[in-house]
Amino acid sequence: MTVVTRFAPTPTRFLHIGGARTALFNWLYARHTGGQFLLRIEDTDRKRSTEEAKAAIIDGLEWLGIDWDGDIVYQSERADRHAEVAHAMLEAGNAYHCWCTPEVLQTMRETAKADGRQPRYDGTWRDRDPSEAPDGVDPVVRLRAPREGETVIDDAVQGKVVTANTQLDDMILLRADGTPTYMLSVVVDDHDMGITHIIRGDDHLTNAARQAQIYRAMGWDVPTFAHIPLIHGADGAKLSKRHGALGVDAYRDMGYLPEAIRNYLLRLGWSHGDDEIISTEQAIEWFDLGDVNKGAARFDFAKLDNLNAQYIKTAEAGRLLGLIAPLIEADTGVTPSAAARKRLAAGLDGLRSRSKTILELAENAKIYSSDRPLEFEEKAAVLLDPDARGRLAALRTALEDHDDWTEEALETAVKGHAETQDLKLGLIAQPLRAVLTGRTASPGIFEVMAVLGKDETLGRLADAA
């Protein structure tokens, strides 16, 4: 059997982080088994579905590196097929028309509550003769669900899930206007697309038994269900915006790399020993549903930051430069010059080791991309009092004839100058950092001098005078 999985988002908003993890798990399982991963957009809610949301979902998947097989299926284009299946169940006696009005259903619910029962449809029209139907009422089509026994789901993550059929009512398949309900549409689409494994959040677990009844009413094979735990915040509460329930595009805008997000989402509810940094190739090789945890995973920004920092350290230099250059330009309004780009390339390794996100990297990189004269942070400006400027002027004179502009040679030269001036190194190094970077924190000052080069270093020292 060829494994076929799917991701079926509703395009009413962005691709949120929980949906991205669901897509990732489906994609990994399909790639792990040599199967197919399909994408279906469940856009039957025309009032809430938007083209912007569809585009955001597709863009988010592409940014994450999650590709799908074949064409995208749009559920709204398949309504006739969904209705066809409902009518087939009618003909087979596995569904029936129901003429209950909204008022009748409301009374039914109120009576059930008053009697201490769950408010559900009581099967009023299950066995009544259609000749008794009231005039002027368009009927819905309901599933003739089994009333005795149990519906059993052998879930690949949650284990055996048993639901007494007395807890399930005859759900609506077609509304009074003839449009299909979600429960019918999703089953028909999954069957027609050949889905073998339905991997989704465990908030859908209650739907599994109902959907299994539709499969069995049609004589179709029931797919393997795998309901993965939801994501909670670091405090254990339901994930919200304050925890990180944002769109994938927001994480991109916050400076996270897609491979870091993939790796982090993979570890939310799935594990492979003590491995933390897992490449895509390893994830495809190792991923299996049996290793998915049953308990809720916790989203922790601190862990994501640390993981992202690791990926920044190993990312290809040209790619990082391509990511930070437009950020610097957008923030400063100035396109980095050729000389600035050269400095950025030379200083990248020292910068990336201090950056957890691409935004931090771009901000830190301004010490090399900024043109003279520099703007000084307030704390840096405080260090540049007249005495400090005098010491820097003397240092500049001492360095004018210094030709070995390597980090090691510069350290020796500056320390030697401090000794000849009977000064502690900090009295020179601190204002030196301020005048060369405009800040009080940066990579090692001798590394900064080497990256800037002799002309730029002496020029910035001259500006300080």
Residue 141 φ then ψ, to 5° = -110, 125
C-alpha 61, offset from chain centre: 9
Q: Is 269 helix (H, G, I), strand (E, B) or coil?
A: coil
DSSP 117: -
Q: What is the DSSP string of 304-319?
A: HHHHHHHHHHHS-HHH
Give me the active site residues, please: 241
Using CB atoms within 10 Å of the CB of residue 393, give its burial: 0 to 12 exposed, 13 to 18 middle, 19+ buried.
Answer: middle
Q: Report how far residue 439's alpha carbon sits from residue 426's, in angstroms, rounded to the nearest whole number.
A: 15
Q: Report how far residue 465's alpha carbon sits from residue 463's, in angstroms, rounded to the nearest whole number.
A: 5
Q: Report how far residue 36's alpha carbon sits from residue 57's, in angstroms, rounded to the nearest whole number.
A: 19
380, 440 in Cβ contact below 8 A?
yes
Q: Is 41 helix (H, G, I), strand (E, B) or coil?
A: strand
Q: Report how far residue 207's alpha carbon sits from residue 228's, in angstroms, rounded to the nearest whole number.
A: 14
Which of 150, 169, 146 shows the shortest CA–CA distance to 93? 146
C-alpha 97, offset from chain centre: 43
392, 457 in Cβ contact below 8 A?
no
C-alpha 265, offset from chain centre: 7
156, 108 in Cβ contact below 8 A?
no
Q: What is the DSSP string of 124-149?
A: TTSSS-GGGPPTT-PPEEEE----SS
Amino acid of residue 214: I
